[in-house]
Amino acid sequence: MSKTSQSGSGWWLLMIALIGGASLPTFSQADHLSYADIYPLLIDRCLNCHHNPGAPNGLSLETYELMMQGSNNGMVVIAGDSSNSEIIKRIRGERHPRMPMNGPPYLNEIEIKLMMSWIDAGAPK
């Protein structure tokens, strides 16, 4: 499988589920998810605020490297552990303020599962 087709596989699964009204994908191909698969979601829901070094709490999600550096308060992604990753706690509303700050609408369950699957797969670049 080419690198291009691998990087888009998770995003296409998400789109098929949304368009076709299918049940939540299992992301059995989670080991093929990459930052490129979650980036469209970040563009749509996060980068309005978290896009430069002056971003809230110093958290820029603009690049993989910046995302993995975390915020002024520490890491937001714990590779392999979505349930303890700050970014998941914020988008699920388990910790305040809930993200995105300009919500609702907030991320839906499919979008959250995509982020969790990527993190649980080790948050690969």
pLDDT digits (tens, 9 = 90+) for 114-124: 999 999 999 99
Q: What is the pTM of this model?
A: 0.76
Task: Note the pLDDT tens digit of each residue in 53-101.
Answer: 789 999 999 999 999 999 999 999 999 999 999 999 999 999 999 999 9
Instruction: Compute the distance between CA of residue 52 and CA of residue 59 in angstroms, rounded to an integer.
Output: 8
Instruction: Show the tokens assigned to 3.
Output: 């690198």
Peptide bond into 124 cis (omega under 30): no
Residue 63 lies in a domain: yes
Which is more confidently placed, 8 or 71? 71
Q: Please report the pLDDT score of residue 10 as a whole number.
A: 53
Identify the domain containing residue 110 by its residue range.
Answer: 3-120
Domains in the chain, number: 1
Run of H or E including 30: none
Instruction: Compute the distance between CA of residue 31 and CA of residue 6 in angstroms, rounded to an integer.
Output: 10
Residue 125 lies in a domain: no
Task: Note the pLDDT tens digit of each residue in 10-55.
Answer: 544 455 444 444 444 445 555 589 999 999 999 999 999 999 878 9
